[in-house]
Amino acid sequence: MSAASLSSSINVIRSASFVSDKSALVSNARPSSSSSAFLGSTAKLRFNPLSSPAASLRSSVVAAAAASNVVKEKQPKSSPSGSHLLITKEEGLELYEDMVLGRAFEDMCAQMYYRGKMFGFVHLYNGQEAVSTGFIKLLKQEDSVVSTYRDHVHALSKGVPARQVMSELFGKETGCCRGQGGSMHMFSKEHNLIGGFAFIGEGIPIATGAAFTSKYKREVLKEEGCDHVTVAFFGDGTANNGQFFECLNMAQLWKLPIIFVVENNLWAIGMSHLRATSDPQIWKKGPAFGMPGVHVDGMDVLKVREVAKEAIGRARRGEGPTLVECETYRFRGHSLADPDELRDPAEKARYASRDPITALKKYMIESNLASEAELKAINKKIDELVEDAVEFADASPPPRRSQLLENVFADPKGFGIGPDGRYRCEDPKFTEGTAKV
């Protein structure tokens, strides 16, 4: 790694430190020890040193080099206005509304799933909202987002209407994929949501390709103003997959405008992060490939947003990719089918007490950025919006049968569907070989 890239990575790490300092305001109410409770579950994990010397080494590395130590390298920075606030009132209200939307929408999803309105697996994002909101609310419509199977909230933050997301979950024709994608495959061309991907790691090369497209348009096709960036979200477990490393290499080699955002919620289904990876500090893999790596408290939307600003800015200026590890936590099981019996109740309680929505609310009120009544009004507005989404989805028609072969065959009309819209296989003499294909 060159000295230049090393110093650039240190700068980014320092900027995260600076954020952590300032936005400690968010955590004023928390005991100071909990405001830097990184690697909370993994630090607790016990290894048997006799049976696994490597594991015991790993455990001490974690204790010695938890990212909270990284963020202790503080750089004091005064704001030009002399204000200590990281956001304006309008920005704060936008962040609050987006996080409340994500939470309320998914709480409703759980209800609808258990009432049998949705099919297949449904993975909720409860607890991780600060990551989606912190990044996506800084993006333009033309910027791209690539998600995973935990994709509803990314879609909402990117501006896909709640009605369309809920309808997709209900498998209805009015869904953003006309009911053909379902929970794990949200997609919207209009909003440049390039998709939820059910196979882990599958979205990372797609995102890398999208970022390559932006660079190609700008540098080869000379498209004026094409400074679009791509943000790829994926989990800690996924960061052990090969595509991740291949894409880090390509992205840095070609200085692509992409941000790799690892949502490290400490678990991959029932597998603890520390048990599955040789070095639990995922952000370090950025500098290993020559790009900045940042670790940030993913339960704090203001910290995430500051790190996101810097990474998105770098990408837009053509300075290349950034790897950001957001330490976060999911408040529910892996999917709605998971009884969530493996995770330690004390760990769950510890993260529940750091709810990112509660923290932002407290910051807004204590900083006189919003009153309790204003925030309540937002909650009410969102409740109504989610109710409306459910009613809309419920009343929407199911996809027509003719959609079945769409996106499967290049020309479904010429293949399985006749000019009258009926399936060829429904022709009376189809089995006698008389159907014209």
Ligand X SMILES: Cc1ncc(C[n+]2csc(CCOP(=O)(O)OP(=O)(O)O)c2C)c(N)n1
Residues near ligand X (CB under 6 A) are: 150, 198-200, 234-238, 263, 265, 267-269, 334
**Nearer Cβ to ligand X (12/323):** 323
Q: Which of 159, 127, 128 is nearest to 143 (CA)?
A: 159
Q: How far is the CB of 236 from Mg ion (least distance, A)?
A: 4
Q: What is the signed CA dihedral for 363, 366, 370, 375, rounded to 10 degrees?
A: 60
**Buried b or exposed e, range 366-403, using 16+ CB within 10 angstroms:** ebebbeeeebeebbeebeebbeebbebbeebeebeeee
**Nearer Cβ to ligand X (310/355):** 355
Q: Give CA–CA dist 92/101, Å, rounded.
A: 14
Q: What secondary structure, in 3-state letters, does 77-110 show? A: CCCCCCCCCCCCHHHHHHHHHHHHHHHHHHHHHH
**Nearer Cβ to ligand X (199/415):** 199
Q: With beta carbons less than 8 A apart as the criterion, state whether 246 and 30 touch.
A: no
Q: How far is the CB of 53 from ligand X (least distance, A)?
A: 26
Q: Which of ligand X, Mg ion, none is residue 113 near (CB under 5 to 8 Å by kind)?
A: none
Q: What is the signed CA dihedral for 366, 368, 374, 379, rounded to 10 degrees?
A: -40
Backbone φ, ψ for residue 338 (5° rounding): -95, 120
Q: How far is the CB of 260 from Mg ion (least distance, A)?
A: 15
**Nearer Cβ to Mg ion (330/361):** 330
State which residue has the least CB distance to Mg ion.
Answer: 235
**Nearer Cβ to Mg ion (198/389):** 198
**Nearer Cβ to ligand X (234/351):** 234
Residue 276's contacts (CB-CB under 8 Å, 6 or more residues apart) are 237, 240, 268
Interface positions with Mg ion (CB under 5 A): 235-236, 265, 268
Q: Give CA–CA dist 244/402, Å, rounded.
A: 38
Q: How far is the CB of 296 from Mg ion (least distance, A)?
A: 16
State which residue has the least CB distance to ligand X.
Answer: 235
Q: Which of ligand X, Mg ion, none is residue 199 near (CB under 5 to 8 Å by kind)?
A: ligand X
**Nearer Cβ to ligand X (263/327):** 263
Q: How far is the CB of 268 from ligand X (least distance, A)?
A: 3
Q: How far is the CB of 303 from ligand X (least distance, A)?
A: 20
Q: How far is CA 236 from the centre of its chain?
A: 12
Q: How far is the CB of 238 from Mg ion (least distance, A)?
A: 8
Nearest-5° Cα angle at 310, 329 to 225:
120
Q: Which of Mg ion, ligand X, none is residue 334 near (CB under 5 to 8 Å by kind)?
A: ligand X
Q: Give CA–CA dist 231/137, Å, rounded.
A: 12
Q: Which of ligand X, Mg ion, none is residue 269 near (CB under 5 to 8 Å by kind)?
A: ligand X
**Nearer Cβ to Mg ion (167/183):** 183
Q: Give CA–CA dist 80/95, Å, rounded.
A: 23
Q: Which of Mg ion, ligand X, none is residue 200 near (CB under 5 to 8 Å by kind)?
A: ligand X
Q: Which of ligand X, Mg ion, none is residue 306 near (CB under 5 to 8 Å by kind)?
A: none
Q: Which of 290, 211, 204 is nearest to 249 (CA)?
A: 290
Count of other CB atoms within 10 angstroms of residue 75: 10
Q: With beta carbons less than 8 A apart as the criterion, state whether 27 and 314 touch.
A: no
**Nearer Cβ to ligand X (271/404):** 271
Q: How far is the CB of 45 from ligand X (least distance, A)?
A: 15
Q: Which of Mg ion, ligand X, none is residue 174 near (CB under 5 to 8 Å by kind)?
A: none
Q: How far is the CB of 411 from ligand X (least distance, A)?
A: 31
